Amino acid sequence: MKLLVTGGAGFIGANFIHYWLKNHPNDHIVNFDKLTYAGHLSNLKNVENSPNYHFVQGDIVDKKSVEEVMSGIDTVIHFAAESHVDRSIADAYTFVMTNVVGTQVLLDSALKNNVKRFHHISTDEVFGALELGSDEKFNVNTIYDPHSPYAASKAGSDHLVRAYHDTYGLPITISNCSNNFGPYMHPEKLIPLAITNLIQGKKVPVYGDGKYVRDWLYVEDHCRAIEMILRNGKVGKTYLVGGQTEDISNLEVIKIILKIMNDTEESIKFVTDRKGHDRRYAIDWSVTKDELGWEPKYDFDTALNKTIEWYKNNEDWWKTLI
């Protein structure tokens, strides 16, 4: 099978490529990435000389480049996206162009080239926010209610993907995942920022009161979920992928990191909250478990320890990004 991975030099895309080549050595992957600030070929040094891996630099909004790279592809796994909420608040245009228009360009090309499966990676942020302390969780029937330009652009791309299935019969699947963490994550994000700051002896910034809740998903578990969706998922269906069953606040996450790294709470620095900051995300991934047999392999503490060790052992990688 020949796969096109968009955004494969980014955090989740690179982890997926590593995972897929390890577990499917007879498949061929084409990595199509623009190499923005969030995409780095250093993420893929271990596979760059593999005969089953090929990198093409390009932009998903460029129709000609997309047409060229789509030729002969069986399966598309679409990771490419602008994803940092703070950046979307400062520059919404770039997010709309990449996440909405870029997705539409890919869909057109996939349709033209008779791609057998187009799998679209999305986010739980399209559903908006939940109340702190409630038992409510996002599910596949939750009405879309995005609160940031990033979330709105991903919601738009989700709707386009479904429309191409309903209108043109393109064989698609979608997964809306929670907050990923693990190796190769850009140090602007909460968990790697905390880890790398502590390694450098800096304080860890925490927005507002720190009570914001996210459903944390270890990136390898996410890759396994995508694999199961591609193998056994129903065409046209959306699957939710989360990592936890109990709420944990951002402040609690930081305190766990501090404990693992033998630091104190004096290293916490509360900073001004960001605009439109969603209070709580939580995903009901029971349908994905019931239909596909997927569930996280790693508990949160184990995955967090693995992540901390990776950043400790790969300072040369992340120090070039800060």
The residue extents of the domains of the chain are: 2-184+217-243+280-297
- Residues classed as catalytic: 124-125, 150
pLDDT at 199: 97
CA 195 to chain centroid, in Å, comes to: 19
First to last CA, the chain: 37
pLDDT at 200: 96
Give the angle 293-110-117 at the CA atoms, nearest 5°. Answer: 15
pLDDT over 90 (residue 84): no
Mean pLDDT over the full length of the chain: 95
pLDDT at 89: 87
pLDDT at 22: 97
Give dist(CA 158, CA 60) in Å, integer: 16
Residue 185's identity, in one-letter code, is: M
pLDDT at 70: 98
pLDDT over 80 (residue 276): no
pLDDT over 80 (residue 305): yes
The residue with tokens 């390694």 is: 199
pLDDT over 90 (residue 215): yes
pLDDT over 90 (residue 205): yes
Of residues 90 and 2, the one with the higher pLDDT is 2
- Name which of 4, 36, 15, 33 is nearest 188 in CA terms: 36
Average pLDDT, stretch 266-280?
A: 89
Give the angle 105-162-32 at the CA atoms, nearest 5°. Answer: 35
pLDDT over 90 (residue 250): yes
State pLDDT tens for residues 24-46: 999 999 999 999 988 999 999 99
Three-state DSSP state, 147: coil
pLDDT over 90 (residue 244): no
Distances (CA, A) of 24 to 4, 19, 114, 267, 292: 14, 8, 23, 43, 19
Query: Are 72 and 3 contacting, i.e. CB atoms less than 8 angstroms apart?
Result: no
Quickly state the pLDDT bin for 268 (edges 50, 70, 90): very high
Q: Which CATH superfamily is domain 2-184+217-243+280-297 in?
A: NAD(P)-binding Rossmann-like Domain (3.40.50.720)
pLDDT at 185: 95
pLDDT at 87: 86
State pLDDT tens for residues 7-18: 999 999 999 999
Compute the chain's Rg from CA coordinates. Answer: 19
State pLDDT tens for residues 154-174: 999 999 999 999 999 999 999
pLDDT at 121: 98
State pLDDT tens for residues 112-150: 999 999 999 999 999 999 999 899 999 999 999 999 999
pTM of the model as a whole: 0.95
Of residues 273 and 139, the one with the higher pLDDT is 139
State pLDDT tens for residues 282-299: 999 999 999 999 999 999
